[in-house]
Structure 1
Amino acid sequence: MGVRELGLPERLGSGESLPSRVEIWEVGPRDGLQNETEVVPVEVKVEFLDRLARAGLTTLEATSFVHPKWVPQLADAEELLARLDRRDGVRYPVLVPNERGLDRALAAGVTHVAVFASATETFARRNLNSGLDAQFAMFEPVIARARESGLDVRGYVSMCFGDPWEGAVAPEQVVAVGKRLLDAGCSQLSLGDTIGVATAASVERVLDAFTESGVAIGDLAVHFHDTYGQALANTLAALRKGVTTVDSSAGGLGGCPYAESATGNLATEDLVWLLDGLGIEHGVDFDALVETSAWMATRLGRPSPSRVVRALAG
């Protein structure tokens, strides 16, 4: 059941600072499923991606070419991409951690890749087995080779608002990491609240720090987790600052296998509900999306974490 069927107004607010359209960067098939305790069958993943595409989502982060030892849930990356019916007008980016991952992505015919950096020293060592500065020795050759091969490259920056070992993270430190990724050739940065500790005020501070450093707001995306129930409030704060790309996960799936305090991502359904209420275009068939996440919840054998899915799908 959609917003109109419930009799809600089509637009609850029309502040001039809000964008007219938002791109939803769907991370459920990758970031959502990588944290599952049981490996999801590849045929289920393929159908999940197809259902999401049919629901109108045009950016679907399909999988990761991380070594299977570290993320066994995504060990079927090549098979998944080989079986996937790639639809016209839909992008299927994949995460690549190093040059070996890029080799695999190129062999699979991928056109969009992403690299994953840390804004803090401790998380870089725990997640990447590298230091804050040394991590770029891995990423910069990957970005350069990908760009030379005609691929678009996105840069993720994790722990942008807080780190479970280091505490609060200075916005200037996040900007330094992010600008280095942009300078290396990334077309967009996704700023991650990996453990879900951000508030609207801290989101504004980080975004302001980027724009004050000369980074265009259009080069920034946001990636929120809902650990403290702030993901939607943080999204609204980012929208009011001019951000037009928001990461989310269908059904609220996901977390981070290297940060135990990280709960699920912002649910795509909850995001769409917010955008509909604000009158912001997004191109997603809300009912088809809810149906897809309810279907996926049955495959995983548990209720969806999304509040909207639970409210509408029972």
Structure 2
Amino acid sequence: MNNPTVFALPSRAYICEVAPRDGFQAINDQWIPTEDKVSIIRSLAETGVTTIEITSFVHPKAIPQLKDATEVVRSCNALKNIKFRALVPNVKGAERAIEAGIKKIKLMLSATDSHSISNANCITEEAQNGFYPIIELAQKKGIEVGGSISVAFGCPFEGKVPQERINQIVYKYESMGVKEISLADSTGTANPKQVYEMLGHLRNAFPDILFTLHLHNTRGLAIANAVSALQQGIVHFDSSIAGLGGCPYLPGATGNVATEDLVYAFHEMGVETGMDLSKVIHTAKDVKQKLGCRSESYMLKAGPSALLHTKVTSQQKLEK
């Protein structure tokens, strides 16, 4: 008789909350007052999360919702035990971020030329070459730099991205001195087998790179994809409270995996996050109500399974 396969997972995972950037930028039908953004970030800081992607220093005309990036960052710099990072598209954005007090910046890059042209108005290679002056500036100022690869698992314009294409981009990042790279399933097309195989290949090919995962739940596979990543030893994930988010340059893009759903799933499997699930859910409810947005969050719809057991047990006692 064969021994059963051991379902081994890491004991700890780390979550970066991206709603203040990815979530807010997707809300383009109303202006979110700066004081509301700051209030939400402060509430997020109370959940136990240790990293927040607080904003993006893009041109105000590109994403008007984030035109108050400097004010938001400066209003939150005093928060303790929180690391902030910001997305920057160019040297000007990096300069603004550093001046505002950001200590870690994240670079924007597309896996395919088609998406890069739509997003950055140039092909991928040209966009990545444009990072040299940003990295040089960051090194002079002592600022951390992380890279990203959008539509890494599938592009709406070109379909599935070849592994060799991802390898080329990662190799270039590594040669530039970037040691942390986020792989984004921007369109929610990834599946668990694909995630497991790509991450396995990349970890073997680039052992000195810290890979992180940025998942969207467009087709309901984000949690399953996160589990596949855990099985490959990936422990850094992006998520968004109440599942807010969606790239403005992608047709039909939907929100990120909900932070409360990811925390719940990890905790149920014995993977600690350092976050208080009840506080995360409470914050998600407040954010959803404050912004008046719809949410696909399972925790907001059904709640934790332990709560269901409590309700059923209480009802049974009342019926006796």
CA distance in 2, matches of 1:251, 1:24: 14
2:77/2:101 contact within 8 Å kept: no
Answer with 273-282 or 16-25: which moved more.
Answer: 16-25
The answer as to 2:188 corresponding to 1:203 is no
CA distance in 1, matches of 2:137, 2:241: 31
AA at the equivalent of 1:110: I
Shift of 1:208: 2.2
Shift of 1:248: 0.5
CA distance in 2, matches of 1:142, 1:306: 36
Match of 2:58 among 54, 58, 66: 66
CA distance in 2, matches of 1:110, 1:187: 18
CA distance in 1, matches of 2:10, 2:157: 35
Tell me the residue number matched to 1:241: 232
2:189/2:218 contact within 8 Å kept: yes
The answer as to 2:208 corresponding to 1:221 is no
Match of 1:79 among 59, 65, 71: 71
* TM-score under structure 2 length normalisation: 0.90
CA distance in 1, matches of 2:273, 2:6: 17
Match of 2:282 among 291, 294, 310: 291
User: Of the two, which has the highest radius of gyration?
Assistant: 2
Tell me the residue number matched to 1:24: 15
Off by >6 Å, runs of 4+ in structure 1: none
Given the superposition, is the C-alpha separation of residues 57 and 137 from structure 1 closer, same or farther in structure 2, using an over 3 Å criterion?
A: same
1:259-310, Cα deviation, whole Å (9 max, x unpaired): 0222110110010111111111111011111111100111111343211122
Shift of 1:56: 0.5
The answer as to 2:47 corresponding to 1:55 is yes
CA distance in 2, matches of 1:22, 1:249: 15
Match of 1:112 among 95, 104, 123: 104
SS of residue matched to 2:131:
helix
1:175/1:209 contact within 8 Å kept: no
The answer as to 2:176 corresponding to 1:184 is yes
Aligned 1:91-102 pairs, distance under 5 A: 91-102=83-94
AA at the equivalent of 2:197: R
SS of residue matched to 1:24:
strand
Q: Percent same amino acid among aligned pairs? A: 37
CA distance in 1, matches of 2:34, 2:134: 27
Structure with greater contact order relative to length (CA < 8 Å, sep ≥ 6): 1
Shift of 1:16: 6.2
Tell me the residue number matched to 2:145: 153
For this pair of structures, how many residues does the alignment match?
A: 299
CA distance in 2, matches of 1:215, 1:35: 34
CA distance in 2, matches of 1:145, 1:85: 21
The answer as to 2:264 corresponding to 1:273 is yes
* TM-score under structure 1 length normalisation: 0.91
Tell me the residue number matched to 2:163: 171
2:196/2:231 contact within 8 Å kept: no
Match of 2:135 among 138, 143, 147: 143
Shift of 1:36: 0.3
Shift of 1:206: 1.4
Given the superposition, is the C-alpha separation of residues 15 and 274 from structure 1 closer, same or farther in structure 2, using an over 3 Å criterion?
A: farther
1:112-155, Cα deviation, whole Å (9 max, x unpaired): 11001111110111101111211122212212211221111111
1:94-115, Cα deviation, whole Å (9 max, x unpaired): 1111000011012111111100
Shift of 1:220: 0.4
Which runs of no fewer than 5 residues in structure 1 stay unpaired? 1-13
Tell me the residue number matched to 1:130: 122
Aligned 1:27-42 pairs, distance under 5 A: 27-37=18-28, 38-42=30-34
Shift of 1:15: 5.0
AA at the equivalent of 1:80: V
Q: CA RMSD in A?
A: 1.6
AA at the equivalent of 1:115: L
CA distance in 1, matches of 2:184, 2:95: 26
CA distance in 2, matches of 1:105, 1:273: 33
Which runs of no fewer than 5 residues in structure 2 stay unpaired? 305-320
Answer with 207-216 or 134-143: which moved more.
Answer: 207-216
SS of residue matched to 1:114:
strand
